[in-house]
Structure 1
Amino acid sequence: MNTWQTRRPLWWGLLLLMDREASDVPALTADVVSFSRTGLAVKVLHAQDVDLSGYGGDDVSPPAQVQIEVIFGDGAPESPASSGVIDVPSGVLTVGDAELQDTVEIGPGRWAAQVECTPRENAEKVCVWLQAV
């Protein structure tokens, strides 16, 4: 089992995992996770959701940090918050938002994606399990 992870701000409150060559960005729904044929979008902690109580007008406020973990292989939860299948024909997955994406080589194919968000709304941690199908 391989794991890729990072912790960083997602300034738009949206985490995207997409095939590098995809153009079908998932249409957002009322659900926390939305799928398209080649990717998924997760609503996460947005900069406007950070609790600023205790900060003064001249204080530097912290960014909305999100922990992102992508796990490849077995071990996905039996009852994930959300699940679907994505196509990654290029073999490269981009992970990030509209401002910054990291690339992760996973190999071409169809991938079952199971997603857990903590907390469920305005997630500060997102775990995505990917298994080849």
Structure 2
Amino acid sequence: MGDDSEAQRMAEDGRLWQHTLHENTMLFQRGNLFLVGQSLFAVAYTTLLTTEKHLSAARVLAAFGLVLALTWLYVGHRHRLYYRHVQARALQRLPDYATTWSTWTGRRRGLSITLITYVLPCLAVVMWVALLLIT
């Protein structure tokens, strides 16, 4: 009977670990997708600026780029909150993971997550606002 409960706990821990990995991967993949989308919008915007008659279309594209950047910021923030919740569960349930996390001396823990979740979308917002103001 004890072996069954231990096996069940190990299976639950395995699923939790997989969930943690999945959420971390999704955070970065989604950020990369938004970054590529922003890059394509920027290329299309600059292409439209090559002629005067497409100036209004460039403004519309910049407005869509701004909305996309704000969406990226919102989606990233919500996902990061969820990821932190899943990670907290993993830290409670998985002693090896908790030990590794607590003994890691990297002072910039979470910097890459902050970059992809907040800094890059905010930079995109600033870029689109500036482009809207100058065109």
TM-score of the pair, normalised by structure 2:
0.22
Query: Greater relative contact order: 1 or 2 (C-alpha under 8 angstroms, separation 6 or more)?
Result: 2
Whose strand proportion is higher, 1 or 2?
Answer: 1
